[in-house]
Amino acid sequence: MKRIVIAGGSGFLGRALTAHFLERGYAITILTRSPKMPANGAREIAWDAHTVGDWARELEGAKAIINLVGRSVNCRYHERNRRLIMESRVRSTRAIGEAISVCKTPPPVWLNASTATIYRHTFGPAWDESGEIGWMPEARDEFSIEVATAWERTLNEMPTSGTRKIAMRAAMVLGTGENSVFPVMLRLTRFGLGGAMGNGKQFVSWVHEMDFCRAVEWLIAHDELSGTVNIASPNPITNAEMMRTFRDVCDMPIGLPATKWMLEIGAFFLRTEPELIIKSRRVISRRLPESGFTFRFPFLRQALEDLLARRRLNE
């Protein structure tokens, strides 16, 4: 049976991918620091996310290894969180690279999470995979870019000659899972707080979870693809448009806007960073469509309507 190993597969994207690949007849092995007995038929194997151990045997003969490990970036960037955010990504990537390099039958492909946040803040044309790496002008520091570049550098440096490597620069993935941004935005909108954030002109790049999973499946199947691939819908929109679309699909006529200073204060109490909301992320993929991939949800309205309908089914 075809088998896929997912490191950090216990989180939001891991669960979405696990369900996607189980439905298609794959066996799934999840590497996690707290293994349980999942009801869905996946296997969970213990690892510490930074040293090569018995778990490395799971890579032998696997069809693919997908690494999604990363301490959430949705927190205040104080010293301890910065260390966890950076180390969880770099060390897990290094451990997987070392494990692959000693495999007798290594997985033919290694997909490692990265982020569309790596691209420079822009109101100009959308960045594709050749876009500029960089920051937003009024940012306090360059921490998220440092993390993203260190993460990708580690992936690129690992000597895994028999294994194709892909850095998945994913945009914000919208899904029904609780760790996704979608349920949070839905709650804000339903409380009448779904107005523009900041001046609302910043771009938001996004992708529906189904398209994220389909893109991962596509990247595994297409041997000619390696290196950096953006996973983002072809239609990023401004924050004001995104919030208007949320209000429309929720039939909510009012949405109080949040000015930049309100976001600063709100972010402090929500223990997150305002940069996550204010940076203009205008990112699309050139490589996926060029290789023949089509998005099932190219427009936000369709994506939100679908997610809302699926959420209602589960309520």
Ligand X SMILES: NC(=O)c1ccc[n+]([C@@H]2O[C@H](COP(=O)([O-])OP(=O)(O)OC[C@H]3O[C@@H](n4cnc5c(N)ncnc54)[C@H](OP(=O)(O)O)[C@@H]3O)[C@@H](O)[C@H]2O)c1
Which chain residues interact with ligand X by CB under 6 A? 8, 10-14, 32-34, 49, 68-73, 84, 88, 113, 115, 170, 172-173, 179
How many other CB atoms are found less than 10 A from the CB of residue 204? 23
Nearer to ligand X, 34 or 161 (CB): 34
- Any residues with CB less than 8 A from the CB of 44 and at least 6 apart, and which? 10, 29, 30, 32, 35, 36, 37, 38
Q: Pick between residue 11 and residue 134 the one whose CB is nearest to ligand X.
A: 11
- Residue number of the CB atom closest to ligand X: 11
Minimum CB distance to ligand X smaller for 8 or for 106? 8
Q: By three-state DSSP, how is residue 313 classified?
A: helix
The least distance separating ligand X from the CB of residue 95, rounded to whole angstroms, comes to 10
The minimum distance between CB 204 and ligand X, in angstroms, equals 11
Q: Residue 11 Cβ, how far from ligand X at the closest point, in Å?
A: 2
10 or 176: CB nearest ligand X: 10
H-run or E-run covering 37: none
d(CA 17, CA 6) in angstroms, rounded, equals: 9
Q: Identify the H or E element spanning 279.
A: none
In angstroms, the Cα distances linking 137 to 31, 122, 279 are: 38, 10, 9
Minimum CB separation of residue 14 from ligand X in Å reads 5
Q: Which is nearer to ligand X, 28 or 262 (CB)?
A: 28
The kind and range of the H/E element at 275 are helix 275-278
Smallest separation (angstroms) from ligand X to the CB of 10? 3
| 268: its two tokens | 């402090």
